[in-house]
Amino acid sequence: MARLMGQWLSERLGQPFIIENRPGGNSNIATEAVVRAPPDGYTLLVVDTAPTINATYYSKLNFDFSRDIVPVASIAGQTQIMEVNLSVPAKTVPEFIAYAKANPGRLNMASAGNGTTSHLAGELFKMMTGVNMVHVPYRGGTALTDLLAGQVQVFFPPMVVPIAQVKAGKLRALAVTTATRSEALPDIPTVGEFVPGYEASVWWGLGAPNGTPAEIIDKLNQETNAALADPKIKGRMAESGGNALAGSPADFGKLIADETEKWGKVVKFAGIKPE
């Protein structure tokens, strides 16, 4: 996503955009690097869902995301899939809830790691349905391998991860996690159709250090929204199961605030602590 937008912005603004990976700390290392950067518009942060989780997940951070990073523009959203191993008899979300309640603590729920979006999507499901599942965190891509093998029974990954296995009939998709159905899997219902109010998704946007001039924020927002209206950009996003998410800086700020509040409640409910 960063490279896709960086190339567009470079061509539109006549400035080279260098994509610098700063992995670690569930995005905290990258975020802190941008927080400490000069607020001149030359250092931006590709924001995803992680900082809205981290605000509650980590008891001590060297920054306050809501204060130190200014929202510039949302870019895209992507649904997650509630999928099960074929050995699970449930073929619908209500059947899964009934099966899980009949077998408390006997179903293993995989995630891409403690505090990740796939973990929190599952914990939100547990919180809203009252089912008892054992969380099994993984690192790397082994969660999907173990789901296919039946070592774990359910997983809530971003759509791009398992869509091929779902279409090949190797895994069963019970629902998508967004508020509306996915164009990529239009026959798959949403979790919210059975659990009113449930919604979980992965999203991306751009942020800048606090103090970045408003005219720079507005210019970057304008050019980002222009990209999201371009059919080629939208097509590239769709290839990975994403959908363009255009809006103003204020719109993106509201999304961040709403997600921070929601995931904070889930983190507290589940008692999740950093590993």
pLDDT at 46: 97
Q: Which domain holds residue 205?
A: 2-77+200-270
Could you tell me if 73 and 106 lie in one domain?
A: no
Residue 275 lies in a domain: no
Torsion of CA 196, 202, 203, 204, to 10 degrees: 170
Residue 233 lies in a domain: yes
pLDDT at 75: 97
Spatial CB neighbours of 47, under 8 Å, sequence gap ≥ 6: 69, 71, 204, 205, 206, 207, 256
Could you tell me if 71 and 87 lie in one domain?
A: no
The confidence band for 119, taking pLDDT boundaries of 50, 70 and 90, is: very high
pLDDT in tens, 221-260: 999 999 999 999 998 888 777 889 999 999 999 999 999 9
Q: In what order do the strands lie in the sheet with 134-137?
A: 134-137, 108-111, 154-155, 81-84, 172-176
pLDDT at 184: 80
Higher pLDDT: 162 or 268? It is: 268
| CATH assignment at residue 219 | 3.40.190.150
Higher pLDDT: 167 or 75? It is: 75
Q: What is the DSSP letter of 241?
A: T
Quick check: helix, strand or coil at residue 139?
A: coil
Residue 217 lies in a domain: yes
Could you tell me if 12 and 91 lie in one domain?
A: no
| CATH assignment at residue 86 | 3.40.190.10
Last residue of a domain, one of 143, 167, 193: 193
pLDDT in tens, 15-67: 999 999 998 888 999 999 999 999 999 999 999 999 999 999 998 999 999 99
Last residue of a domain, one of 193, 220, 254: 193
Q: Give the number of domains in the chain.
A: 2
Mean pLDDT in residue range 158-174 = 89
Could you tell me if 172 and 94 lie in one domain?
A: yes
pTM for the model stands at: 0.93
Give CA–CA dist 253/182, Å, rounded: 24
Q: What is the average pLDDT value for the chain, to the nearest integer?
A: 94
Of 185-189, 197-201, 235-239, the range with the highest mean pLDDT is: 197-201
The confidence band for 162, taking pLDDT boundaries of 50, 70 and 90, is: confident
pLDDT at 237: 86
Q: Which of 56-60, 121-125, 206-210 has the lowest mean pLDDT?
A: 56-60
Last residue of a domain, one of 140, 160, 193: 193
pLDDT at 86: 97
**Burial zone of 135 (CB within 10 Å; 0-12 exposed, 13-18 middle, 19+ buried):** middle
Could you tell me if 113 and 217 lie in one domain?
A: no
Residue 186 lies in a domain: yes
The tokens for 94 are 């209500």
